[in-house]
Structure 1
Amino acid sequence: MKLHHLRTLVAIAEAGGVRGAARALNASPAAITKSLRQLEESVQMSLVTRNSSGVILTDSGQTLLVHARLMIGQLTRAQEAMDALRGATQGKLTVAVTPWIAMTFLPDAVTRFCARMPNVRLEFFEGLLSNANPRLRDGSLDLFIGRPTPGALGAEFNYRPLFSSTCALVVREQHPRANARSLADLVDLDWLLTWDPETDTPGSDTMFSRRNVAMPRKIHVTHSLSIALSLLRKTDMVSVFPWPLVEVTAAREGLCAIPLREDVEDAMVGVISRSGHPPSAASTCFIDCMIEMIRESVASTLPETQHVLRSVELLI
């Protein structure tokens, strides 16, 4: 098993086929096929199956893909560390950012980062749990600035808290339950969440069980804020938003917060990275830029900034 074999597997997985992998690696399809065959011979297992639309990784291929991405990512970070020591920092930094941070602090933090590291290319993903955690695990994501998985983070992730904020239940304006006062009044509705409480929350420790309220009859899961906003505008679904996201999006999207008597729950936001890997110079710089912008915004006297941050407790 050699490094170029692992690069072939990653390219095939990302491109969905041999021809796409060949383009990505600037190689011929024959060379990609040969490299894949050599890798399969090395591990003595079939790693892909072919169909009319391309190739699909087998279970063995998916398992090896996780390790391949980690090894290639670690090699890339090693090269970037050497470049930084030579004063030639370059490469790519991959970051997932929770939506309300993306709508507030991110643009200025990116401007500051690009001024300090002009040769580093940024790649962003929407920072929802279901999008970010798998990428952190397989090494295709460097940083996640967002909400950690409910419960213990475990040994696989490093976590640095930034904020704590309260949450609200959100529905469309003119929703028939828009003035509900109790969580129990809403459990017969369809809920729309960005995490699955059945798999992401340990045991039954949810905001429903803590208040002795039955779980909603149906919980839908979305992996996109834009989809969530569209569905909430046009249906009678209910969702949970951190208050800063309510402040940023509710009025312009035709949504409102339900005035419950109960507190919903707190949402934590922090910087999460895979443990066991030294941070790159670019990762450290990006976090520094983000924290600088957060502190400056908290100290701001601008009314719109104070409005967004009024429910936020700074933890740094």
Structure 2
Amino acid sequence: MRILVTGNAGFIGFHVAAHLLQRGDSVVGADVVNDYYSPAIKESRLTLLEQCALQSSGEYRFHRVNLADPAGVKACFSDCPFDRVIHLAAQAGVRYSLENPAAYVESNLIAFTNILEACRHSNVKHLTYASTSSVYGANTSMPFSESQGVDHPLQFYAATKRANELMAHSYSHLFRLPTSGLRFFTVYGPWGRPDMALSLFTKNILAGKPIKLFNNGEHVRDFTYVDDIVEGVVRVSDDIAGPDPDWTSDYPNPATSNAPFRLLNIGNSSPVHLTEYVEAIEEALGKKAIRELLPLQPGDVPNTYADVSSLMKAVAYRPNTPVRVGVARFVEWYRQYFQV
């Protein structure tokens, strides 16, 4: 197939694009390559994708564009027709949304509107896009299910991602554009963002510096290995969303519709205490951490736990990589990449 992958210089987008190239698809990538974190690792990912393309039977093209600019999106869609669009470009980060909400308006709302419009006018067969477990917000009923309400986001990042889900539904309803929104749960693994906990913890432990454990280390997270996320993304993208025959307007299920629309969790469905996560890093590094216990930060969700029964029903798949296995793979990559 011919697939547009936005955000392909980013952590998850890079892995998705590489996976598609390896199976022989043609990939068009789009990324602004901003400096939210060091662009060096993004450039390394892009270089690796070019190498990947040389070994693939599919074609690869890359557009360095800002998707909030309609002209940039038009340039990407000049490579149409696309069989699929996988939209993973976004302004990431929970805490940064407290400092710079305008970045989230531009990247998560305006850019997503441009992608929806382009998909609509290009008759794209299926749009798959990234949402987040953060949309569950103040909800504490676990495991988190897509059928639950998500009307109490705890940060602006989550609010913009919830807006994406609602925007997608309107296009599915009005223009019959098939859309699938994927709520990712704490993704980690090789080539991960340097501002994420796993990278920060690894860097500080190796340097003999303290690691900051917010909420006094009492967080519980549904840590999900990136290869499992990629497998889920690709399977969902391949399986075009359709109307739910059981959906009723009298008792509407928020995760499906009488339009070609659906929302799906992708998580390991096996929550891990933060201290156990740190122990897995210590084990992989062969070095103990110096722990600094701090209070809960504004906007943080204390616990996450994914119900993935809908994912299983849709595409017969569930993530299953144990945390200790995934962390060990990350540490091996980290040592090689940063030569430590």
Normalised by the length of structure 1, the TM-score is 0.27
- Which structure has the bigger radius of gyration? 1
Normalised by the length of structure 2, the TM-score is 0.26
